[in-house]
Structure 1
């Protein structure tokens, strides 16, 4: 079992024995931990077990639209997140391919910084093909 599960159990035990005002802090920690754990399990489900976004969301009690942003926050799929901080089926396919081929997370164009240019060139100009 993961350390995360032990922390959740520990915080629940503390919340159960605390007065209501103190229990709120412990329960908030539980919510955050469970949310992160759910996101990571969603990522594993769609990449490792090839569940669709809809199927994974349904199993987690989420709509298909709620799954993409959650996946984008996970370490597994963050490199594939689009600029709007979502992961779609297209990015998941890429992550599956990269995992199967053993390639490191390639990410998408919007997330990979461009290599610095070593040459300075003039901007391109439009030149008409004909004078007429």
Structure 2
């Protein structure tokens, strides 16, 4: 299955919006591009491990991630979120279950709780203090 064209277009749009702006004005667009790219990577890893039978380690290595970083990222994907454990990780055993379910057409289990979104910095003040 190819990557989601809507996500690719969102990435292009965010980069295009940032292209002609000054650095400080481009930052929100670049952050949106980075978030979209991370989502594309995560969804592609999920596709690779479930349908292309890649290992967690192999998919992570191709994405430039350590093996420990892969499980939490896969837990945020549409394909593997239902298979995440209570710690918010997808394990090799969960991937095997997801593969079996995909091959047999069985529905995924109901997710216990939604996976937490990655942490992001939030400024305490909406604007910089005076005199800056």
TM-score by length of 1: 0.79
CA distance in 2: counterparts of 1:100 and 1:5, whole angstroms:
27
Compare CA radii of gyration and give the structure with the larger one: 1
User: 1:31-110 counterparts in 2 under 5 A?
Assistant: 31-106=34-109
For the 8 Å contact 1:98–1:106, the answer to whether it is kept is no
Report how many aligned residue pairs link the two structures.
110
Stretch of structure 1 that moved more, 12-21 or 95-104: 12-21
Structure 1 residue 71, shift from structure 2 partner: 0.3
1:4 aligned partner? 7
2:119 aligned partner? none
Q: Which runs of 4+ in 1 moved over 2 A?
A: none
Match of 1:14 among 14, 17, 20: 17
1:124 aligned partner? none
Q: Tell me the SS of whatever aligns to 1:62.
A: coil
Stretches of structure 2 that go unaligned for 5 or more consecutive residues are: 114-132
CA distance in 2: counterparts of 1:26 and 1:84, whole angstroms:
31
Deviations 1:87-108 (A, max 9, x none): 0100000000001010000258
Stretches of structure 1 that go unaligned for 5 or more consecutive residues are: 113-132
Q: Tell me the SS of whatever aligns to 2:86.
A: coil
TM-score by length of 2: 0.79
RMSD: 1.5
